[in-house]
Amino acid sequence: MPSERTLVLVKPDGVQRGLIGPIITRLEQTGLKIIGLKIVQITDEMAAEHYAEHSERPFYAGLVGFITSGPVVAMAVSGPNAVAHVRRLMGATNPQDAAPGTIRGDLATDIGRNVVHGSANVEDGERELPIFFDESEIISYHRANGPWIIEP
């Protein structure tokens, strides 16, 4: 399985609600590796770049207002098929459709307050990561228990 990198955000609602830890724990417990981590106040310019694909959508203004309304926790996450793995853990965009056991299914109730972002595909991940991280802030490292998580 190819190792991939993806961008995960604990959105401002997750930070305000004290869900940084529970969301990180859910990612970490799977064996996904956190290779970058910071708290960030997103600017209007960063939001426009991050959500460029949605700029014509009716929810765009609300989305940008929300994502800039308070700090987010940004993470670079790696692992086998990390993009799809994170998306499965997050659950459907609308928490009303998100399965129990997923982050959105368990921790959110409104599509406009869905607590977490994860890149949609590998290309989006590699486009989004530089909005939040300098390459020098992303750390490649081995874990002593690596072979207990991923079969060599």
Q: Kindly list the residues in this chain that would bind ligand UDP in the complex (CB under 6 A).
A: 54, 59, 63, 93, 111-112, 114, 117, 120
In the complex, minimum distance from the CB of residue 70 to ligand UDP, in angstroms, rounded to a whole number: 15
Residue 85-124 contact track with Mg ion, rule CB under 5 A, x = bound: -----------------------------------x----
Instruction: Please name the residues in contact with 132: beta carbons below 8 A apart, sequence gap of 6 or more.
Output: 7, 9, 36, 38, 40, 46, 74, 76
| Comparison of 25 and 93: residue with beta carbon closer to ligand UDP | 93
| Comparison of 122 and 150: residue with beta carbon closer to ligand UDP | 122
Q: Among residues 32, 64, 31, which one has the least CA distance to residue 50?
A: 64
In the complex, minimum distance from the CB of residue 147 to ligand UDP, in angstroms, rounded to a whole number: 33
In the complex, minimum distance from the CB of residue 99 to Mg ion, in angstroms, rounded to a whole number: 18
- Known catalytic residue at 117: yes
Exposure string for 21-57, b = 16+ CB within 10 A, e = fewer:
eebbebbeebebbebbbeeeebeeebbeebbeeeeee
Q: Which of 50, 54, 85, 117 is the catalytic position?
A: 117
Alpha-carbon distance of 13 to 69, in angstroms, equals 9
- Write out the residues near Mg ion by the rule CB under 5 A: 120
